[in-house]
Amino acid sequence: MQDAPTDEASTDPATAISRAAESGDSLEMLRALRLRLAKAVDNEHTSPRDLAALSRRLVDIDRDVKAAEAAQEGEGGEGKGAGGGDVHDEEFDPTAV
């Protein structure tokens, strides 16, 4: 008889990456990949040969996540300025031009 899946399996970083990729949310996928790489870097069984490449890629992806988050905050949505504050346009006055 096979054991039921544990909570550990549902929090597996590799599974999280797959779910994020399937969802099409690039930022979520980058976050999941960053977590997976961080776990690999922290793992005492990661070979020293792989550690340099994993660390370099972790830094690159962390930079990508921060840039994507900043861009997302900068968009702010409708009625929001670059700083995320409310922006209200005045009525256009053609005589002022």
- Domain ranges for the chain: 12-74
Per-residue pLDDT at 8: 43
Please count the CA atoms within 13 angstroms of the CA of 68 that sit on its side-chain side: 13
Tell me phi and psi for residue 86, to 5 degrees.
-70, 140
- pLDDT band, residue 79 (cuts 50/70/90): very low
39-59 mean pLDDT:
96
Task: Using the Cα atoms of residue 61, residue 66, residue 69 and residue 70 in order, give the sign of their dihedral.
Answer: negative
Q: How many CB atoms lie within 10 A of CB 68?
A: 14
Amino acid identity of residue 79, one-letter, is G
**Which residue did the predictor score with more confidence, 75 or 74?**
74
